[in-house]
Chain A
Amino acid sequence: DVVMTQTPVSLPVSLGGQASISCRSSQSLVHSNGNTYLHWYLQKPGQSPQLLIYRVSNRFSGVPDRFSGSGSGTDFTLKISRVEPEDLGDYYCLQSTHFPYTFGAGTKLELK
């Protein structure tokens, strides 16, 4: 199985500040069709996960441009600029290039 190593586990931030979360995969996430199926989700307390970024860098409908994704191959990053209170929660990466799909262990974004 592809192991997704997500860091840091916890990320204290100040409102208005910037956050960066890393996700590294144990093998390349480039599919044979040329696409890279690496996605990012936010799970707020008591809620289901919600899609933020799909295929590395594409913002899902309604997601503010404060969220951006980048990376390639095995190394990916989610950046959040101008952090707002509604951004707090658990962030997860997911690879869906290889079966079984695998998630990172999560990063808790919390107030400093």
Chain B
Amino acid sequence: EVQLVESGGGLVQPGRSLKLSCAASGFTFSNYGMAWVRQTPTKGLEWVASISTGGGNTYYRDSVKGRFTISRDNAKNTQYLQMDSLRSEDTATYYCSTNRGDYWGQGVMVTVSS
């Protein structure tokens, strides 16, 4: 059974950092480009970042460029999202997914508030 399990979400103050993890199982993780997608009631679904199969290529939406870092460890079947300098507008449910969206995690809530 394919599973993507996110962890690391929570409540954080503006300007602080948080690191999300996504543990994959049930498929050949190293064969898939991966992504993070976030969702809010007001903005809907919003692509955040993607990473290639080997991790050598990364892509970000402009609003998170320079603040967020996507990475992966194929030996651990895990991808990460390091989020620095968090802002209130980063508050959302964050989903881990394969780049095409074949598989999705259950989502993890990130709340940025003082």
How far, in whole Å, are A105 and B45 apart by their CA atoms in the complex?
Answer: 8
Instruction: Choose from A48, A92, A105, A106 the contact partner of B106 (Cβ within 8 Å).
Output: A48
Question: A103: which B residues are within 8 A, CB to CB?
Answer: 44-47
0/1 string, B38-79, CB within 8 A of A gives 1? 000000111100100000000111100000000000000000
Interface size on B, residues (CB 8 A): 20
Question: A54: which B residues are within 8 A, CB to CB?
Answer: 100-102
Contact status A51-B47, CB under 8 Å: no
Interface size on A, residues (CB 8 A): 18
Q: Is the interface of B mostly helix, strand, loop or mixed?
A: strand
Which 9 pairs between the two chains have the least Cβ-Cβ distance?
Answer: A101-B47, A48-B104, A103-B45, A100-B61, A51-B101, A99-B59, A51-B102, A105-B44, A100-B47
Contact status B44-A49, CB under 8 Å: no
Chain B interface residues toward A at CB < 8 A: 35, 44-47, 50, 59-62, 95, 97, 99-102, 104-107
How far, in whole Å, are A60 and B100 apart by their CA atoms in the complex?
Answer: 11
Contact status B44-A106, CB under 8 Å: yes
Instruction: Choose from A48, A102, A105, A106 the contact partner of B47 (Cβ within 8 Å).
Output: A102
